[in-house]
Structure 1
Amino acid sequence: MQRLTALFTAALLSAGIMSAPAMAQEDAASSEAAQAQAAAPATDFSDETLQKFADASKEIASVSREYTERLQNADDEAAKQEVRMEANEDMVGIVEDSGLEVSTFNAIGQAIQQDPELMKRVQAMVEPQEPQDK
């Protein structure tokens, strides 16, 4: 359970890293829509969408560990900023390769923080299914 919590924490932290550049790229109208969505995240995501989120989260958690170490070892603020930008690009790529938009990934991340049932659905998709021998 701690590993799963760490996974979601990494994914949500990554989502926070990704959201600022992604939002900056949107025009004013879609930015307002994204802010409205962030204020009241949807919880009616399909199982397919949640599975994509779970898969991307696992990969982001792995990548996040690498970048966290590199960030800690960076010599100065310029080097740290370079690591952050590289991490952001990689994590955005992971999300997009999963078939999700960054805004959808972020919305799911916010929704699972506010909805314990949704969190349980995603956890079930992340945790390996163990055979039940009785």
Structure 2
Amino acid sequence: MTRLAKLIALTLSITTGAVSSVYAAQKVLDNEKAINQIQTSVEQQQFDDSTLEKFTVAMYAVQDVAKEFEVKLQQEQSTEKQQQLQANAREAMVDEIEQAGLEVKTYTTIAQLVRQDEALRQRVMNIVNDQDNS
């Protein structure tokens, strides 16, 4: 698995939890409608390079938060404290995404689409490579 694929898989799994926590109080779409929205998003949504650059910045920041809290979680024995650490991690990830200039929903949508859309994945990989080379 490539470095980008691992990053995307990690951030998608983490932000899925973050998004569900952030929006838990809001009305949730049923599964069928959500799946249809994701499928049509591939066809309808075009993200400009600026948005994808923000996504990659947020992706790295979320990965850093995940690594930081993973160590803390492994060291903690109390289930209650682990749950609090997880909540803190989700909040920190949401903050990082928003500081990068994206809404959590946009970040999560891009992360999901990158896994499904080869052309979008290639654009993100090119941006990551450009950032790594600068």
TM-score (ref. length: structure 2): 0.82
The letter of the residue matching 1:112 is V
Alpha-carbon distance, 1:59 to partner? 1.1
Please list, as runs of the form range in 1=range in 2, the aligned pairs for 1:77-96 lying within 5 A after superposition. Answer: 77-96=79-98
Deviation at 1:71, TM superposition (A): 1.2
Q: Structure 2 counterpart of 1:47, which letter? A: D
Secondary structure at the counterpart of residue 24 of structure 1? coil
Distance 1:24 1:38, change over 3 A: farther
Q: How does 1:22-37 map to 2 (within 5 A)?
A: 22-26=22-26, 28=27, 31-32=28-29, 35=34, 37=37
Indicate if the aligned counterparts of 1:22 and 1:102 stay in contact, CA closer than 8 A. no
Which of residues 116, 119, 132 is equivalent to 1:117?
119
Identify unmatched segments of 5+ residues in structure 2.
none
TM-score (norm 1): 0.82
Asked if structure 2 preserves the Cα contact closer than 8 Å seen for 1:15 and 1:109, the reply is: no
Alpha-carbon contact 1:41-1:108 (below 8 Å) kept: no
**In structure 2, distance between residues paired with 1:14 and 1:84:** 10
The answer on whether the counterparts of 2:15 and 2:90 sit within 8 Å (CA) in structure 1 is no
Distance of 1:22 and 1:73 partners within structure 2: 26
Task: Please give the root-mean-square deviation of Cα atoms over the aligned residues, in Å.
Answer: 2.3
| d(CA) in 1 for partners of 2:113, 2:20 | 18
SS of 2:46 mapped into structure 1: coil
| Aligned match of 2:17 | 17
Runs of 4+ in 1 over 6 A off after TM superposition: none
CA distance in 1 between counterparts of 2:65 and 2:88 reads: 11
Aligned to 2:58, which of 56, 59, 79?
A: 56
Give the number of aligned pairs. Answer: 128
The corresponding residue for 1:65 is: 67
Structure 1: 5+ residue stretches without partners: none
Counterpart-to-counterpart distance in 1, 2:133 and 2:84: 41
Contact kept, 8 Å, 1:37 with 1:107, in 2: the verdict is no
Aligned-partner Cα distance in 2 for 1:115–1:13: 18
Q: Residue 63 of structure 1: CA displacement?
A: 1.4
